[in-house]
Structure 1
């Protein structure tokens, strides 16, 4: 099949949707499909290499998201006329597609969760101000095109929800017909992320992180440290620190770490928290970590949690994370209900100070990840593609 993947930037170094799309593109190529990337920008190796197996089509620079989506639609129509596209798979940039996969979940749900992070007294003002900002108006206009009942000339797009939670949010927030939504969880590369990492790289990376053999390293990897619950993690660490000198936290990602450093200092645990800043590859950190912790306020289906589980690292996350739907709490990980409850999080962290418990849960975590591989993820996507192309052919014949 000729498959177009549409997103803002094709650059796996940026993480998240970009990393997933790059991995997905490689898998499609390995299965004999032709891949076209439609984006505003991409990595130099794809943009400049005419012999590349991935064909890049650049969306013209535009003023806002709505114009960008419309420009992408015009470009896709042109590419389709030239070569014939079997499937157009959009990662959330636009509306002209066969398959829409909003990796960020429901924009409205994410806004609600972000609002929870603000003090209660300021929330009404922030809510009112948001509705006036051009950025939010653009998102609302784009979402209306993406989720509205109107069809484009390829028919009405299918929508992929990364979890049951996201599916419910799309239905409630945008009045999407449930029959239009396909539930497909994220998958993980279980070869790249595996317990073998811990054998081959664990000791070396623990040395780099100045960790003793008896230390228990709690790892979090995130761009938005506030939304992913770092303050809750630091407060939980302060709860267990007096009786647990081996407990330490490693923070990877985030650009503005000063507020969290001040919090750790005020709670007397600044010497227990390492801030690494942005990292290019989290795999060595999973090798060094004992526990992965992400007390997130919103996550459609966290890739980093799946990566940690695949590496055999027990994970603690919240019910606000779509991946929690896959976890059997207290067996292959822990799921806490409230992302702001540092008391409950501290209890779960305290339980995993026990090395035997960590090892048993880590083995179960690996088994869980093996049931949700990236290869399986791709197979499920291709099955959806087959249904989409079959239905479009039926409409054409009719």
Structure 2
């Protein structure tokens, strides 16, 4: 196996027992539109020169056998994550125009298979981009079931909760980056409408909390919200809280959904989160508005969170979700990918 990349952390190879061959491609480090285009060209040239059996792309590149649509449809992402003038401005920015053009070229190319992590994404590609359903390879993301929900994670989580919010009756976690798209605005409004002094919301992620602090103060919930910053021990944070909430406007597949489920937590999210469909009835899934600030969203969210104050119901949902994701581990994921590679090779032989 060979990995084509523009940069990588050498620690990755030290932590991998079966280290792949890594080719670092020379591309500009400035101006993202140029970097994206040059990386696409460089990977195509490298693949042609090396005569690989299979090219599986995890980035928006023009030429490959299997393209993983990890972010779903960029056009749909833009539509759902912004509105009004901001949406129009983003569509005309050089960065987004390049990404949209590459995406459109991939979706038009009948020779490329497209890996989708959810039916939510697959349906968007077939209905809006006119991708043939025969080109879709449906495979959910995987979760490290040995990391989440362990006795150590729960023990460390209890210590963290004692340290941060010992007196809280219920602690909910919002684990995300890109907080605006992930629905933090309507979540904060919902917290204010609950008027529950025993409730706490922990927010984990790398976003800057400064723009949100005024909104939190204006809503009168400063004592109920805590910013944790980016965390590399989310398994411990999951072990500290009572539930996970992600009222996202658009997520092809939010991996935190599986992580929380593997930790035995009840999950409250939206149908715009592709991961939710794999948990069936073990997840509370809301139909909220596509665009930010849709009227009534915060009311429905507040009601759903209050319903999960029933500890017996919350525990039952978490346990059911935990059992489901035990089957969504990395060995199963790798086996499904290997089978897809064999399928691609067989189809190629049939056409020769």
Q: TM-score, normalised by structure 2?
A: 0.90
SS in 1 for 2:257: helix
Distance 1:253 1:366 in 2: 23
Cα separation, 2, equivalents of 1:73 and 1:297:
34
**Contact 1:187/1:374, CA 8 A, preserved across alignment:** yes
Structure 1 distance, partners of 2:153, 2:89, is 48
Q: Give the Cα separation in 2 of the matches to 1:173 and 1:255.
A: 31
Distance 1:52 1:327 in 2: 32
* CA RMSD, 1 decimal: 2.2
Q: Is 1:162 matched up with 2:122?
A: no
Within the alignment, does 1:268 sit opposite 2:239 as a pair?
no
In structure 2, relative to structure 1, the CA distance for the partners of 1:278 and 1:134 (3 Å cut) is same
Q: Offset at 1:197? A: 4.6
Partner residue of 1:225 out of 162, 179, 186: 179
CA distance in 2 between counterparts of 1:357 and 1:77 reads: 55
Partner residue in 2 for 1:205: 160
CA shift for structure 1 position 127: 4.1
Cα distance change of structure 1 residues 97 and 149 upon mapping to structure 2, 3 Å threshold: closer
For residue 195 of structure 1, report the CA deviation from its aligned partner.
5.0
**Superimposed CA distance per residue, residues 277-306 of structure 1 (whole angstroms, 9 cap, x where no aligned partner):** 222231111111110000000011111011
Measured after TM superposition, the shift of residue 186 of structure 1 is 1.5
What secondary structure is seen at the aligned counterpart in 1 of 2:79?
helix
Q: Is the 8 A contact 1:46 1:54 kept in 2?
A: no
Alpha-carbon contact 2:257-2:276 (below 8 Å) kept: no
Aligned match of 1:368 = 324
Matched, 1:335 2:285: yes
Alignment length (residue pairs): 341
Alignment of 1:167-182 (within 5 A): 167-182=122-137
Q: Deviations over 1:11-42 (max 9, x none)?
A: xxxxxxxxxxxxxxxxxxxxxxxx32111110
Matched with 2:147 is 192
Residues 1:58 and 2:34 are matched in the alignment: no
Shift of the alpha carbon at 1:254? Answer: 3.3
**Distance in 2 between residues matched to 1:271 and 1:46, nearest whole Å:** 40
- In 2, Cα distance between the equivalents of 1:129 and 1:194? 43
Cα distance in 1 between the residues matched to 2:113 and 2:146: 30
Match of 1:246 in 2: 198
Report the counterpart of residue 94 of structure 2 in structure 1. Answer: 134
Q: 2:47 aligns with which of 76, 79, 84?
A: 76
Question: CA separation in 1, counterparts of 2:40 and 2:332?
Answer: 30
Contact preservation (8 Å) 1:91, 1:101: yes
The corresponding residue for 1:21 is none
What is the distance in 1 between the residues matched to 2:175 and 2:307?
21
Aligned position for 1:255: 207
Distance 1:185 1:267, change over 3 A: same
- The CA distance in 2 between the partners of 1:167 and 1:48, in whole Å, is 36
In structure 2, what is the Cα distance between the partners aligned to 1:167 and 1:108? 14
Match of 2:276 among 324, 327, 334: 324
User: CA offset at residue 269 of structure 1?
Assistant: 0.7
Matched, 1:309 2:233: no
Deviations 1:353-380 (A, max 9, x none): 2322222222112112123233322222
CA shift digits 1:208-267 (9 cap, x unpaired): 32333x5211001111001001111111111113xx322100000132212222111111
Higher relative contact order (CA 8 A, sep 6+): 2
Matched residue, 2:3: 37
Deviation sequence 1:118-173 (CA, Å, 0-9, x none): xxxxx1x33443343221221122123312236xxxxx121011111111211233
Note if contact 1:95-1:142 (Cα within 8 Å) is conserved in structure 2.
Answer: yes
What is the match of residue 13 of structure 1?
none
Q: Secondary structure at the match of 2:165?
A: coil
Write the distance in 2 (CA, Å) between the matches of 1:256 and 1:328: 34
Distance 1:114 1:192, change over 3 A: same
Aligned counterparts of 1:234 and 1:309: Cα–Cα separation in 2: 23
Q: Is residue 191–residue 302 contact of structure 2 (8 Å, CA) maintained in 1?
A: yes
- Does residue 90 of the first structure (1) align with residue 42 of the second (2)? no
For the pair 1:380 / 2:336, whether they are aligned, the reply is: yes
Question: 69, 77, 101: which is aligned to 1:102?
Answer: 69
- TM-score w.r.t. the length of structure 1 is 0.80
